[in-house]
């Protein structure tokens, strides 16, 4: 169970009057919103989100060259986008449970884990450090300005 309760509502991450064109796929929009919210969007950025019915946790980690990793809570608009994307996803494996998006050098890569692939009994606060380590190694994380 995710520890942060959040029922998405409100803006969908697209500026008023801005049309969503075929070039602006949902994951591209999520990536743009992630960069907009990151402490330093010029370096490597990690978005890690966990979603289940009615609940979402989304965190952003960013690092410019040779700096420490900086943490930021995902803003409500980004959470709404991710939750909407999750709700629309209903493939043969069901809905995913975790999303990991890496943005680096103007390109992004996304991976998903499904509920049956998660370690039973393992919580978000146990999974997240493993994901951070996989992408940033032993670089310390600065949690001092999360908003």
Asked if residue 93 is part of any domain, the answer here is yes
Domain count, the chain: 1
Asked if residue 57 is part of any domain, the answer here is yes
Q: What is the pLDDT of residue 16?
A: 36
Q: Inform me whether the pLDDT recorded for 58 exceeds 90.
A: yes
DSSP assignment of 27-46, as one string? HHHHHHHHHHHSS-TTSEEE
Q: Give per-residue pLDDT as tens, 72-124.
A: 999 999 999 999 999 998 776 789 999 999 999 889 999 999 999 999 999 99
The whole-model pTM stands at 0.81
Asked if residue 121 is part of any domain, the answer here is yes
Find the helix packing angle between 76-88 and 26-37, rounded to 10°.
160
Q: What is the pLDDT of residue 8?
A: 39
Q: Inform me whether the pLDDT recorded for 138 exceeds 70.
A: yes
Q: Are 8 and 86 in contact (CB under 8 A)?
A: no
Asked if residue 107 is part of any domain, the answer here is yes
Domain of residue 108 covers 28-142
Asked if residue 73 is part of any domain, the answer here is yes
Asked if residue 14 is part of any domain, the answer here is no
Q: What is the CATH number of the domain that holds 59?
A: 3.30.500
Q: What is the pLDDT of residue 24?
A: 59
Looking at per-residue pLDDT, the higher value among 46 and 66 belongs to 46
Q: Inform me whether the pLDDT recorded for 7 exceeds 90.
A: no
């Amino acid at each position: 169970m995710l520890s942060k309760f959040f029922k998405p509502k409100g803006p969908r991450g697209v500026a008023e009057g801005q049309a969503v064109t075929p070039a602006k796929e949902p994951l591209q929009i999520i990536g743009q919103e992630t960069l907009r919210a990151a402490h330093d969007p010029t370096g490597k950025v990690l978005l890690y989100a966990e979603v289940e019915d009615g609940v979402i946790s989304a965190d952003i980690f960013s690092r410019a060259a040779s700096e420490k990793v900086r943490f930021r809570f995902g803003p409500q608009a980004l959470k709404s986008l991710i939750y909407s994307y999750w709700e629309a996803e209903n493939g043969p494996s069901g809905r995913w449970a975790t999303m990991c998006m890496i943005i680096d050098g103007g390109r992004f890569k996304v991976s998903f884990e499904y509920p049956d692939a998660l370690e039973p009994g393992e919580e978000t606060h146990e999974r997240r450090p493993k994901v951070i380590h996989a992408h940033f190694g032993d670089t310390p994380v600065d949690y001092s300005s999360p908003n």
